[in-house]
Structure 1
């Protein structure tokens, strides 16, 4: 889904006079590189490859104070690295040590050994990788537990890790939270059909109507097509994809022009991973979590329903829990409004995992 939109956005960027476009990019990347410098005495800025699950995988660890809580972020897509958002989320690193990991099939990990060197591309394999990454970070940073932040498809991993391993995680935070219910809720697809009819998109409407009524029967390609239409049929989501997602990749000081294409290839390669979650039922898997549980969702998200996330949240039993909607956001809420997301982390998460008061943790 992102790959198709990204390809269109990249073409538009390059359609401008090449010298002007590349000159503007160089200037913005230089500014972002300066913004991302960490010079504090107890800070960390470490990126590199670590052998995880039998292959070299890219991990970034950044923060201004190693005494801060550690956040392990699980990106979505699958195949959509969140390292591209570094400049947008720079303020998070004042209060947390942020760990970002390009999963197998994703951007820098994909570039390390190519498509043929990614090994098994399945949900179970990446789930196992995530456990290994967690333990690597706990050892590397000498911490008992880390905050687990699941974004979009990464939240499907996040729910399972949080449920299974409360001894490894101090809290779970889900955003753009994927809730699987074995196909019982069809509201996202029905809302898409309404938007397509209203827009007179007959070809797209026919394609969605032709899908099997039970989404568990869809192929990975059909699932990607459906997700693409969810995003492109909604103006707010499409704007976010173009300006926030592709804009962040285009101006990222960590990523080259070659990696722009690799981002797209990784998204396509990773589509197959979604087959591993088609039969998931988060209610059946369990709504009891032995750690603090938080969901911060975009109020207008058309890809991962905030209503469905709220229904699941209401059934969750956890020592502490909180739910919040982020206004003027569809998908990618944490990156469209990173300061609002940080406010939620400081109000709910950091005080709990550090024992500090919320008033002491100001942006």
Structure 2
């Protein structure tokens, strides 16, 4: 949701401030450069994008990497509705060491564009959770692996925790980043912190808007989630800076997306807001802190949207064969995309050694 509001805000601001011809010309040049950067020519590499029938509709899946012998990462994107496909050029180095699978969930990006808003089926957490299981099994069969590394960011971590807990036979490790911890709204520290930040900054209008929203998120409408997310993110300097310098630029210069598809991405972000109330009563600790697979959280050291301390405290309670918490420095939300080099270093030094052989045993490999 935080991803949703800010992408739309940042893009609208940029477009309004720049002459159209100059904007489009610069975009074409940068898109071409990014397309060259993303070429995979390695003999054992893979670069596939296709629509796969998942949960009764066609959903877009990308599989990219320079060596099919590398461990496979399945990403679960955030938002809801915020496709990770736009970050391909920023995360190109990841594909030297991992095969990266990106999926536009129903109601998102290319999946939404394929059949339109009226043909997305049920846009609810339970249906999309089952989609994630089906995507996992498709990837395992397509790439001939027993298990994959599950990497979930932001809202996607609501799916990720539950997948990791329920299906350790399908995943060889869980990695959460921008990790969201649901607690059935038993902790309103971030709400109080936002009010204090607004008060200190003299943001009277925003303070009144947040103050009018009940602290119990279980009572929130999708619109209230949107209001809160926009204010929380735009009044945090580091988050808003990352939105402008990383998220908006990745969106605008993506070689995988036409101008019309940028519009579809925005529509998907708005459409997907309806999923949020489904998760309001989630309680991650009550659901269980025992995981039968290696468990990692790599969080921005200054994330005020999904607070770093809350993610760390949750991991303290986790029981897993291996577990580790690490900070991504000079980062708030969107930490792995703000500093893809730091994230890759953590994946190579902490995760890959643990899964060096796991998940690579299958016929034909």
TM category, shorter? over 0.9
Q: Corresponding residue for 1:290? A: 292
Cα distance in 1, alignment partners of residues 12 and 356 from structure 2: 46
Moved more, 15-24 or 59-68: 15-24
C-alpha separation in 1, matches of 2:288 and 2:196: 33
Taking the aligned partners of 2:61 and 2:7, their CA distance within structure 1 comes to 23
Task: Give the one of 351, 355, 363 matched to 1:349.
Answer: 351
**1:87-236 to 2 correspondence within 5 Å?**
87-236=89-238
TM-score with structure 2 setting the length: 0.96
| Structure 1 residue 9, shift from structure 2 partner | 2.3
Distance 1:249 1:211 in 2: 31
C-alpha distance in 2, partners of 1:148/1:3?
Answer: 22
- Residue 12 (structure 1) aligns with: 13
Is the Cα–Cα contact under 8 Å of residues 5 and 226 in structure 2 kept in the other structure? no
Contact 2:4/2:80 (<8 A) preserved:
no
Question: Matched residue of 1:273: which SS?
Answer: helix
Cα deviation, 1:31-76, whole Å, max 9, x if unaligned, reads 1000000000000000010000000000000000000000000000
Paired residue for 2:38?
36
In structure 2, how many angstroms separate the alpha carbons of the residues matched to 1:156 and 1:9? 25
Quick one: distance in 1 between partners of 2:343 and 2:212?
A: 38
Q: In 2, distance between residues paired with 1:301 and 1:13?
A: 24
- The CA deviation at 1:136 is 0.2
- Structure 1 CA distance, aligned partners of 2:151 and 2:23? 34
> Counterpart in 2 of 1:329?
331
| 1:361 match | none
CA contact (8 A) 1:3 1:263 kept: no
**C-alpha distance after superposition, 1:322-348 (max 9, x if no partner):** 100111100000000000000000011
- Whether the 8 Å CA contact 2:301–2:308 is kept in 1: the answer is yes
CA distance, structure 1, for counterparts of residue 353 and residue 289 of structure 2: 24
Count of aligned pairs between the two proteins: 356
CA distance in 1, matches of 2:341, 2:182: 29
Please say if residues 4 and 79 of structure 2, whose CA atoms lie closer than 8 Å, have aligned partners that are also in contact: no
What is the aligned partner in structure 1 of residue 77 from structure 2?
A: 75
Q: Which residue, out of 24, 33, 40, partners 2:26?
A: 24
Which residue pairs with 2:62 in the alignment? 60
Q: What SS does structure 1 have at the residue aligned with 2:353?
A: helix
Task: Report if the CA contact (8 A) 1:2-1:228 is conserved.
Answer: no
CA distance in 2, matches of 1:124, 1:355: 32
Give the superposition deviation at 1:198. 1.6
2: distance between equivalents of 1:349 and 1:10? 35
By how many angstroms is 1:10 displaced?
Answer: 2.1
Which deviations, in whole Å up to 9, do the C-alpha atoms of 1:193-228 show, x marking residues without a partner? 111112211121111111123121111211121111
- Using the TM superposition, give the Cα deviation of residue 264 of structure 1 relative to its aligned residue in structure 2, in angstroms: 1.2
| Cα shift at 1:156 | 0.5
- Structure 1, unpaired ranges of 5+: 357-363
TM-score normalised by structure 1 residue count: 0.96
C-alpha offsets along residues 15-45 of structure 1, whole Å, 9 cap, x if unaligned? Answer: 3122211111111111100000000000000
More displaced 10-residue stretch of structure 1: 215-224 or 60-69: 215-224
Partners of 1:35 and 1:73 lie apart in 2 by 21
Using the TM superposition, give the Cα deviation of residue 299 of structure 1 relative to its aligned residue in structure 2, in angstroms.
Answer: 0.7
- Runs of 4+ in structure 1 over 6 Å off: none
**CA distance in 2: counterparts of 1:6 and 1:246, whole angstroms:** 6
Secondary structure class of the residue paired with 1:351: coil
- Cα separation, 1, equivalents of 2:3 and 2:307: 18
Q: Secondary structure at the match of 1:196?
A: helix
Equivalent pair of 2:5/2:229 in contact (CA under 8 Å): no
Secondary structure of the 1:296 match is strand
